Structure 1
């Protein structure tokens, strides 16, 4: 089956963290180092942006069940009470100052999971300090729990339909892991490797970054520095499909559209824009022949 790739927005330096809101048919995402959050209306084609202020970094924007959004602010998580007001209120400090929060996602119980990475903007990921980051969660009552330490660059995550398995990426060792997941207790255990990008038989994989799971239980992983999204069978660890993009730094992906058959892909601009003028674009992929799932809202 042949897919079609379309550029829908071209105004980010470092696009990340896409989240599809099916109630409004809008895609929320961030421009990390600009500290901007974006709202792309798929019906009108309008892309609105909101700066969170404070000279911080935004990596997450996810709608709340109570209205407004939960967002990241460097080491803190905060609430934006509404898009129109843009008022930001910090609710929890999650990380040490040596780190910054990175990719996050909400599980089916409304709990936010978010990881971190070293607080350095170095385009060479292998030069970043290793093993100082972590994976934490934020419950609806505001309590924060740290689940894993010694992470190098925390990135994509998602769950199986039955909530028995959580998939999770640490980009520097180029690993996609699976954990047994207890949604009631909010705990993970029994780590094992699902895919190892450093040993894959598919060349030029880059670094695994953001991730989404389709209704068939397959993983769609953004390959940073390789300009592609790959579909992985978690049972075998094999790449079963590759979608190549006209840019180098694909960062994350999520399913959206009225029937969740569109794949939205964020990207970052490279240091030398002459290499690829489409770096930093938001892409929409249609015609994949697969379907995603409704994203969860934060319960707090």
Structure 2
């Protein structure tokens, strides 16, 4: 196994939302606080970007062209070439300065995106409590709220049999499982499948952030605060392996590359002290992990 910096020309404030575009063979990701959407070609090492007018929580390709983004509190369509942004749906303020965070499409092509409350201090770990929600933006253009009182809405994964959705709320440090109906998009029967508080205190794991899954159905979770990607069996909660990343503020990950056997990891530099930056000079980088011996699955796109 090897861990290396994938893109040497960028240091993100809050890198997030990696998505391997299987059609273009490029890596998409965002820098939430820089309001940027990035597209990187690993063959040519060309890095392109579009700067938007608000925070951008995630980016997902649309089957009909362009991209869906979580722009501030709106679901919006981005035309990459013209840089035209069309706002499609906006969520209510909910008594806070909330914004969208992580997002993914389900196997039917719906866009699931969650929100979080406003940061309430200079500490990047402190946010308004339980002001986030989880929404589904359907292929028909309607939006519906499915989960409320969320701390920080994060990782999403669906099983290959389309029967289960996994979802992370970073604040209680839990991964939830839901029964999932691919025909209607309905979720039900919420339960905790991984609770970070149940693991030994001497194995510092950080806080669960974004995640992806492999062909065996295991979850690969990026952990904020301790520079780790941890692989779990969601059926048992067992930790299967840990990948150490040379940056403490890991935010999310996805499988990519021609064979979907490379793990790309996003990180943040926001809030890092001078001591942390000296110890981890590649803080905020995009990393690539190879030689894991596992593969991921093609990422779903929006089909509306």
Comparing 288-297 with 91-100, greater Cα deviation is found at: 91-100
> Which of 40, 46, 61 does residue 63 from structure 1 map onto?
61
Comparing 177-186 with 88-97, greater Cα deviation is found at: 88-97
Question: What is the deviation of 1:126?
Answer: 5.3
**CA displacement, residues 31-75 of structure 1 (integer Å, 9 cap, x when unaligned):** 1100000001011111111101x2x10111111011000011110
Comparing 256-265 with 196-205, greater Cα deviation is found at: 196-205
CA contact (8 A) 1:66 1:299 kept: yes
2:33 alignment partner, SS class: helix
CA contact (8 A) 1:99 1:118 kept: yes
Partner in structure 2 of residue 271 of structure 1:
272
Question: What is the deviation of 1:98?
Answer: 2.5
Structure 2: how far apart are the matches of 1:177 and 1:36? 30
Structure 1: how far apart are the matches of 2:207 and 2:21? 27
1:236 alignment partner, SS class: coil
**Structure 1 unaligned blocks of 5 or more:** none
Structure 1: how far apart are the matches of 2:177 and 2:241? 20
> Which of 270, 284, 289 does residue 288 from structure 2 map onto?
284
Answer yes or no: is 1:76 the counterpart of 2:78: no
Partner in structure 2 of residue 244 of structure 1:
244
- CA-atom RMSD in angstroms: 1.4
**CA displacement, residues 104-141 of structure 1 (integer Å, 9 cap, x when unaligned):** 00001110000010122756465322112110100112
Comparing 9-18 with 279-288, greater Cα deviation is found at: 9-18
Question: What is the deviation of 1:11?
Answer: 2.8
TM-score (norm 1): 0.95
**Structure 2 unaligned blocks of 5 or more:** none
Structure 2: how far apart are the matches of 1:60 and 1:36? 10
TM-score (norm 2): 0.94
Structure 2: how far apart are the matches of 1:139 and 1:177? 22
**CA displacement, residues 145-204 of structure 1 (integer Å, 9 cap, x when unaligned):** 000111111100110001100000000000011110011111111111111112213711
